[in-house]
Amino acid sequence: MHKPVLLTEVIAALQPRSGGIYIDGTVGAGGHAAATLEASAPDGQLYGLDQDESALVLVGERLSDFGDRVHLLHANFDRLHQHQIPPADGILLDLGVSSMQFDQPERGFSFQADGPLDMRMDPSAAETAADLINHLPEGDLADLIYRYGEERQSRRIARAIVQDRPFEQTQDLADLIARVVGFKPRRGGRQKPKIHPATRTFQALRIAVNDELGALERVLPQAIAQLAPGGRLAIISFHSLEDRIVKKYFQQEARDCICPPEQPICTCRHKATIHIITKKPITPSLAEITENPRARSAKLRVVESIGK
Ligand SMILES: C[S@@+](CC[C@H](N)C(=O)[O-])C[C@H]1O[C@@H](n2cnc3c(N)ncnc32)[C@H](O)[C@@H]1O
């Protein structure tokens, strides 16, 4: 079962209450959703979105005790505004994949177990990781691995992939990258264990297959517009690319004028729509990281709607 990350902190941030409307844009296994429903008993409503239909089947069973307080939608959160959900008192986005998705080899997210190079969170989407690996020109593949994986050896990896393709299985790709980049796992001693050399390339492919950064950029204005006055938006990100997008957008929306600093007079007429609640992102405690290593890179940022 997926362990919800920063659960206490998310509930403290959203302050669910009876009669409130809550949106979980990444409902997954429903850990955050169940806690939100409990805290907003007896009549808070929860709208749970997920682009993975199989997650919705499981979460529907898990949340069945909450009856008609739960509304599940098979949808990408980047089309939040299309669902006619009432103004929300709290919205959560807990980005990325769930442990359930990661731990199923047939979904192709992990190189620890062999599976097809798929990586689609929404299995009805068109393009798989194998499509990108086997068809992108070498330069585009290198750019993708560099941009979304922040992988400095992206050119070497892309060249080797293009020479050896087609690839269909995660293990074959991970082995090739380990050969190209070289991998000596560190055991014992005080040094931190080295991450597997395929980690960054797999992250890059997953981000590209699911257009994760595009979806995040598209949902931010919709989520803020969806908040009731005083409503809060909480976002948990897992890598610097996501966190940078969230932080910059929040900073921009919290300002009255977004004209370039060298411009003496404001012409943008931009008005702040939110207050930033977390000046610095909230990160998990050592105890949480020990219990759930997946939490180690999590960052939670929270804003509140000014509601003009
Ligand atoms: C980290 S898990 C969420 C776990 C959840 N908070 C819990 O407590 O179980 C992320 C979930 O969001 C879904 N997801 C990721 N990006 C999405 C998007 N753009 N639209 C809708 N669902 C998305 C994934 O399919 C996955 O089930």
> CA-CA distance, 10 to 36, in Å (whole number)?
9
Specify the pLDDT at position 195.
83
Strands across the sheet containing 21-24: 70-74, 45-50, 21-24, 88-94, 227-237, 299-305, 274-276
Q: 78 falls in which pLDDT band (50, 70, 90)? A: very high
Specify the pLDDT at position 191.
60
Name the residue of 23, 50, 95 whose CB sits within 8 Å of the most ligand 1 atoms, as the mutation to test its pocket: 50
Amino acid at 298: A
User: Rounded mean pLDDT of the chain?
Assistant: 95
Specify the pLDDT at position 198.
95
Specify the pLDDT at position 194.
73
Specify the pLDDT at position 1.
77
Q: Which atom of ligand 1 is nearest to the CA of 34?
A: 8
pLDDT tens sequence across 92-126: 999 999 999 999 999 999 998 999 999 999 999 99
Q: 182 falls in which pLDDT band (50, 70, 90)? A: confident
Specify the pLDDT at position 171.
96
Specify the pLDDT at position 188.
60
> CA-CA distance, 222 to 240, in Å (whole number)?
22
Specify the pLDDT at position 308.
61
pLDDT tens sequence across 209-238: 999 999 999 999 999 999 999 999 999 999
Closest CA to ligand 1's atom 9: 29
> CA-CA distance, 61 to 132, in Å (whole number)?
35
User: Structure pTM?
Assistant: 0.95
> Over 90: is that where the pLDDT of 4 sits?
yes
- The DSSP-derived string for 72-112 is EEE--GGGGGGG-PPPEEEEEEE-S--HHHHT-GGG---SS
> Over 80: is that where the pLDDT of 39 sits?
yes
**CB neighbours of residue 84 within 10 Å:** 5
Reading the block at residue 236, the tokens are 């948990």
Closest CA to ligand 1's atom 13: 26
Specify the pLDDT at position 135.
98
Mean pLDDT of 179-195: 70
Residue pair 104/38 in contact by the 8 Å Cβ criterion: no
Residue pair 16/39 in contact by the 8 Å Cβ criterion: yes
Q: Is 36 in the pocket of ligand 1 (CB under 6 A)?
A: no
- How, if at all, do strands 21-24 and 45-50 pair? parallel
Q: Which atom of ligand 1 is nearest to the CA of 92?
A: 6
Q: 265 falls in which pLDDT band (50, 70, 90)? A: very high
> Over 60: is that where the pLDDT of 193 sits?
no
Partners of 235 in the β-ladder:
93, 301
How much of the chain, in percent, has pLDDT values that exceed 70? Answer: 96
Q: Is 206 in the pocket of ligand 1 (CB under 6 A)?
A: no
Q: Is 242 in the pocket of ligand 1 (CB under 6 A)?
A: no
Name the residue of 73, 121, 122 whose CB sits within 8 Å of the most ligand 1 atoms, as the mutation to test its pocket: 121
> CA-CA distance, 80 to 60, in Å (whole number)?
20
Q: Is 89 in the pocket of ligand 1 (CB under 6 A)?
A: no
* Coil, helix or strand at residue 239: coil
Mean pLDDT of 39-58: 97
